[in-house]
Structure 1
Amino acid sequence: MVTYVIEHMEEDNADATFPHWIALEYAQMLKWASPNKVIFSSLSPASVKSLSEQLIARGASPDAFRAETKSVTELMKEENVALDKVCLLDPRATGEIAPQDGKEFDWFLFGGILGDDPPRDRTGILRAKGFPGRHLGPVQMTTDTALGVTSLVVQGGKTLSTIKFVDHPTIQFDEHEGVEMPFRYVVDGKSGEPILPEGMREHLKADMDRGLDDF
């Protein structure tokens, strides 16, 4: 069994409800990770409560995740997890993620949430701590997709070359409206569509409609 750790690196408003769109991403991570656990670290106390409530409301088991105010390094000390047993998913790493990494590492660490366009290299903050790293290919992914690809490799035994991807897909809402996503996604084998978090398509449509209303 492996554990996935998301070091939350978005600006976190201590007094606000955890952002809905990020909760959608985090809920998708639990689906990808199952039956393994996801730890969300470095959250504000208010976000721990709000995120937990949103995930459970979306059907997540309380046993599937932990929401923590502590950082990944603090949690490593508490749980006696050595630095060399934590793999940082890092686009600048020299080695590619591989099935054998599921045996070499106990924790897989991700920095940030929803890849920035252009990338801001927030992973560099974690890279500086000396974690061994692996990359997921040359194209920027959302964080939930990055976790999904990692799980397909270390849990499912796939290699990156055997996973079907689509880059920069246009998400169509109807015949005339759509939005291009500047990231790489895993393709659903049944529908042929990019795998998005449940509820994300509706969120994107509502966001686009709000933007149109501003004109």
Structure 2
Amino acid sequence: MTAPEITIAYGSVETARAAAMTVEYTQRAIGKNVHIKMLPGLAGPNEVIQVITDSAGWHYLIEIGKPVFNAAVALATKEAYERYKAWKNSSKPASVAEPADDAFALGSMLKTLEKAKVDGNTIIFALPIDKGSLKGRNVGVELKSVSEDTFLQSAVVLATIGDGLIAALNQYSFKEAVVENSDCSCAITVNPDGSAEVEIYVDSKMTTVRLKFDALGKRVETST
């Protein structure tokens, strides 16, 4: 598997410098240019940085980050990593053959995001949505703190549910988030057992659908 397409998005001029530094370290980590863009302006607050890539991209970042994560992960993260390995065994994603250009730059990227979070910015690890009313706002996990642990836990969720979630969202021509992150992106709620869910409106009458995935990323429930 070659290096993925990754976009770093920011919400205001105040977050632009941290976003640019995140781009620099991510490029060093994957050995490929990373896109940067400004998110569409909403009602605010817009102090946000999103790291956006698809399921395969999150899988790639987990794989190249192993030198960074191995010495740092806590028990909860080890449980998440075990779920990730089980998902890999069943889903057979493309292998990451080449070593990271500079794996430890990924750690520097996380330090940049950690400081941005401490400075009051919202940090979202996201999957891209390219059509419908959520276009450009995306769907993701909002980090309460930034560390190797929270990176790996969130990346595992995004890698395992990513393809299934985007396919499920694309079933609906109208979709609006019921549960939003602080930046108005569509929220992925991660449960203590590693399962995840997303709740959306699917029509102008505000009919709701809850999309649920088990801890291995399998879609297990669609409820209204």
Is the TM value for this pair above 0.5?
no
TM-score bucket (shorter structure) = under 0.3
Query: TM-score of the superposition, structure 2-length normalised?
Result: 0.25
Query: TM-score of the superposition, structure 1-length normalised?
Result: 0.26
